[in-house]
Structure 1
Amino acid sequence: MIVWINGTHGVGKTTTSALVQRLIPDSRVFDAEKVGETLMDISPGLPATDNFQHWPPWRPLVVETARRVLDYTGGTLVVPMTVLVEEYWREISAGLARHGVPVRHFVLHADQDTLRGRIEGDALLGPSPFRRAHLEPYAEAARTWLHDEAEVVDTTHLTPAQAAQRIADAVVREPRPSRTRAEVSRP
């Protein structure tokens, strides 16, 4: 299965995902951003874009990588990845469904003031114009489709450890049917 942790940049997906991975037995973190970084390394480069998710190969490569890893390892993949374009989410989730890979889709949410404070106060990355630029697209996605497509975890007053525990508890409490590695790879 995949535990997809969505939400805007700076909400705590990476930190929370590492904690979720420790709470769910036989799980691994798969950073789908690395697929985008691989595409960015192609030389000469792919057509210019401000977001590698706009490149059509990214989405099916994420699906294929995730399913192949699950076929090889079994267990659970925890995927911390912002996807704010509904069409892209539908393509990824449909691709995983075609391969019989169940997905638990969570969105880490915080109110705009909290998000701005986290972005401005990030001791590791510092204030990030990139993260600030995604606040409104996230808010729009949350209003129009994203919160309807996922289990929302409001992190406004939660630590990353508390958010991770809520996600892990939800996954353990309502597990998907277990499948063998061979079943994961079936088209």
Structure 2
Amino acid sequence: MIVWLNGTHGAGKSTTAPLVQELVPNSRVFDAEKVGETLMDISPGLPATDNFQHWPPWRPLVVETARRVLEYTGGTLVVPMTVLVEQYWREISAGLAEHSIPVRHFVLHADQDTLRARIENDRVLGPGPSPFRLRHLEPYAEAAAGWLHAEAEVVDTTQLTPLHAARRIAYAVTN
């Protein structure tokens, strides 16, 4: 199974994922961003883009990597990865379905003010707020109001600690 943690920057995906992994037996965290980083390292580079998810190879490579890891290890993969483009989510979820891999799709959500404050006060990625992360607030709001919240189980992290969010997700996938 895959437990996909979606949501924009500042929602708590990276912090929550290892906590979910600790609570769900036989699970591992798969950071699909590393697939994008591999594509970014190709030389000469792929066509210019502001987001590696726009490169057509990224989506099937995420599916294939997840499939191969699960085939090798079994269990559950926890995937903390923002996907805000509906077509990209459809490609990924359809690819996983082709391999009969069940997906529990969660969106870690917080209101815009909370997200902005978390990004602006992030000391790990600092110094200063990340313009890349801030640029995703509006596309997230649009996706959340449209397809995204309809496609996933929403966990509002505005008032939740990452551990409480992880417990809710782990309970949902193990019961």
Residue by residue over 1:111-166, the C-alpha shift from the partner in whole angstroms, topping out at 9 and shown as x without a partner, is 01111111111121132111111000000000110000000000000000000000
Distance 1:12 1:24 in 2: 18
**Matched residues, number:** 173
SS in 2 for 1:145: helix
Matched with 1:151 is 153
Q: What does 1:101-112 align with in structure 2 at a 5 Å threshold? A: 101-112=101-112
> TM-score scaled to structure 1, two decimals?
0.91
Distance 2:117 2:168 in 1: 23
SS in 2 for 1:137: helix
Matched with 2:43 is 43
- Which deviates the most, 157-166 or 116-125? 116-125
Matched with 1:168 is 170
Matched with 1:179 is none
Cα root mean square deviation, aligned: 0.6
User: Is 1:117 the equivalent of 2:117?
Assistant: yes
Matched with 1:9 is 9
Extract structure 1 runs of 4+ deviating beyond 3 A.
none
Identity %: 83
**Counterpart residue identity of residue 143, structure 2:** A
Distance 1:44 1:52 in 2: 15
**Any gaps of 5 or more consecutive residues in structure 2?**
none
Residue by residue over 1:87-134, the C-alpha shift from the partner in whole angstroms, topping out at 9 and shown as x without a partner, is 000000000000000000000000011111111111211321111110
**Counterpart residue identity of residue 42, structure 2:** I
- The Cα of 1:64 is off from its aligned counterpart by 0.3
